[in-house]
Amino acid sequence: MSGDGRAESANALLGEIAGVGADRARGGYSRHVFTTAEGELREWFGGAARARGLEVQVDRNANVWAWFGRPGPDAVVTGSHLDSVPGGGAYDGPLGVVSALAAFDLLRAQGFTPRRPLAIVVFAEEEGGRFGVPCLGSRLLTGTLAAERALGLRDGNGDTLADVARAAGHQPAHFGRDEETLGRIGTFVELHVEQGRGLVHLDAPIAVGSGIIPHGRWRFSFTGQGNHAGTTLMEDRRDPMIPAAEMVGAVRRSAAAVPEARATVGRLVPTPGGTNVIASRVDVWLDARLPEPGDVRELVAEITEDARAAAELEGCRVEVREESYEGAASFDAALRDRLRALLGDAPVLPTGAGHDAAVLARFVPTAMLYVRNPSGISHAPEEFADPADIDQGSADLARVLRSLAG
């Protein structure tokens, strides 16, 4: 409920942040962790939470918490993230946050008094849009990612996470597994826009998540000899762009041959990156995902072999580094069935999209709710959810929170 006691819908709350982080060059939103835009969203969330009488805290890893009543153990926690991919949509992340605020408004309007502590969390850097590794906030909180490694990660400008976190007012020396905060989470429920067309096919507005398929990110660094585009004859070149381009084709071929596999090259950076310059180095990032019993690392090994062969043919070298990996996540079966029953036999869906919920699921009973996305498009400006489905999502989330915390 806002300061004047008015309940706000999730749609209205989304409208309040519609202008923040709009990316005029790429379209959509670029709201990377510890940038001005993301800071503005943190401020907005803190203000919206305080206007509702919630107690706002920032934990050791820069995740933001808003407590409905007194913070404490065995809490029912909901929330998502406010950062985005480059040029992303308006819903991936923010929908879970605004729906949580709207659900709290509904509970207040119903005069609900929770028996368990109730909180909203906004996790930091879910997308890995700035530092490459996704779910930094939840991985650091749970100790799944070592603080030393995280703090040394560099963004595209060469700045470390430690430096930009400090500049944004956080204390990187305190980053790392946070027993106290983790110990407070009794149950976690994340609401998210669906990132495929599962609900369209089922003709339903809301689903309960079953789990997340294994996925990871690998960086292939090809090195050759930088040189002049006009004076270097073709036979004299060692151009790392050639094996990098070969690799893009190999990714498509290898993944297309494995049922259910998804593999993507969405980022390729030549150094130094001049039109009239043969690159000295090309970095290629591979995002690969494959449900079990498939083995996503086996698929990556096959791609690596092709990349090495292509590099050798051009007199180049390639170095491969696994930047992140998340194994299969299965959400708590009893919790899933409870939510499903509560929401009128809502359908159950698996997903190929990663979430902080996958990280949390290894530590506490965790569930996800998905809101229908008519086009299924996500990580792009065309991402969408119908306002009526959004309202349904926050009402369903309120029902879930009421049942879990009541």
CB-nearer residue toward ligand GLV: 21 or 134: 134
Angular region, 181: left φ>0, alpha ψ -120 to 50, beta rest: alpha
CB atoms within 10 A of CB 224: 24
Pairing between β-strand 277-278 and β-strand 317-326 as defined by DSSP bridges: unpaired
386 is in an annotated binding site: no
CB-nearer residue toward Mn ion: 145 or 318: 145
379 is in an annotated binding site: yes
CB-nearer residue toward Mn ion: 129 or 365: 129
The string of DSSP letters for 326-391 reads E--EE--HHHHHHHHHHTTS--EEEESS--HHHHHTTTS-EEEEEE--TT---SSTT----HHHHH
Q: How far apart are CA 41 and CA 36, in angstroms?
A: 9
User: Of these partners, Mn ion, ligand GLV, none, which one is at the site of residue 93 (CB under 5 to 8 Å by kind)?
Assistant: Mn ion
Tell me: does residue 37 bind ligand GLV (CB under 6 A): no
* E strands present in 31-106: 55-58, 64-68, 75-81
Q: Are 397 and 192 in contact (CB under 8 A)?
A: no
302 is in an annotated binding site: no
Closest CB 5 distance from ligand GLV, rounded Å? 36
174 is in an annotated binding site: no
CB-nearer residue toward ligand GLV: 133 or 395: 133
Pairing between β-strand 366-371 and β-strand 277-278 as defined by DSSP bridges: unpaired
CA torsion angle for 60, 64, 70, 72 (degrees, to 10)? Answer: -50
Binding ligand GLV by CB under 6 A: which of 354, 360, 364, 373? Answer: 354
Burial call 15-24: b when 16+ CB within 10 Å, e when fewer: eebeebbebe
Closest CB 186 distance from ligand GLV, rounded Å? 25
CB atoms within 10 A of CB 78: 29
Closest CB 301 distance from Mn ion, rounded Å? 26
289 is in an annotated binding site: yes
Classify burial at 233, counting beta carbons within 10 Å of its beta carbon; exposed 0-12, middle 13-18, buried 19 or more: exposed
Closest CB 272 distance from ligand GLV, rounded Å? 29
CB-nearer residue toward Mn ion: 31 or 336: 31
Closest CB 56 distance from ligand GLV, rounded Å? 25
Residue 401: which of 25, 153, 113 has the closest Cα?
A: 113
- The H-or-E segment that residue 265 falls in is strand 262-271
Please, which of residues 115-144 interact with ligand GLV by CB under 6 A? 127, 134
215 is in an annotated binding site: no
User: Of these partners, ligand GLV, Mn ion, none, which one is at the site of residue 125 (CB under 5 to 8 Å by kind)?
Assistant: none
Closest CB 278 distance from Mn ion, rounded Å? 35
Name the 3-class secondary structure at 195: coil
Binding residues for ligand GLV, how many (CB under 6 A)?
4
Please, which of residues 152-181 interact with Mn ion by CB under 5 A? none
User: Of these partners, ligand GLV, Mn ion, none, which one is at the site of residue 314 (CB under 5 to 8 Å by kind)?
Assistant: none
Burial call 33-61: b when 16+ CB within 10 Å, e when fewer: bbbebbebbbebbbebbeebebebbebbb
276 is in an annotated binding site: yes
Distances (CA, A) of 64 to 19, 69, 302: 21, 16, 41
192 is in an annotated binding site: yes
User: Of these partners, Mn ion, ligand GLV, none, which one is at the site of residue 226 (CB under 5 to 8 Å by kind)?
Assistant: none
Residue nearest to Mn ion (CB): 92
Residue nearest to ligand GLV (CB): 354
Closest CB 113 distance from Mn ion, rounded Å? 31
Please, which of residues 36-95 interact with Mn ion by CB under 5 A? 92-93
- At 161, list the tokens: 């996470």
Name the 3-class secondary structure at 286: strand
Binding ligand GLV by CB under 6 A: which of 161, 164, 241, 353? Answer: 353
Q: Are 103 and 394 in contact (CB under 8 A)?
A: yes
Closest CB 380 distance from ligand GLV, rounded Å? 12
Closest CB 293 distance from ligand GLV, rounded Å? 21
Name the 3-class secondary structure at 242: helix
User: Of these partners, Mn ion, ligand GLV, none, which one is at the site of residue 354 (CB under 5 to 8 Å by kind)?
Assistant: ligand GLV
**Residue numbers of the site for ligand GLV (CB under 6 A)?**
127, 134, 353-354
Q: Binding site for Zn(2+), residues?
A: 81, 92, 127, 192, 379
Q: Binding site, residues?
A: 81, 92, 127, 192, 217, 276, 289, 379
**Residue numbers of the site for Mn ion (CB under 5 A)?**
92-93
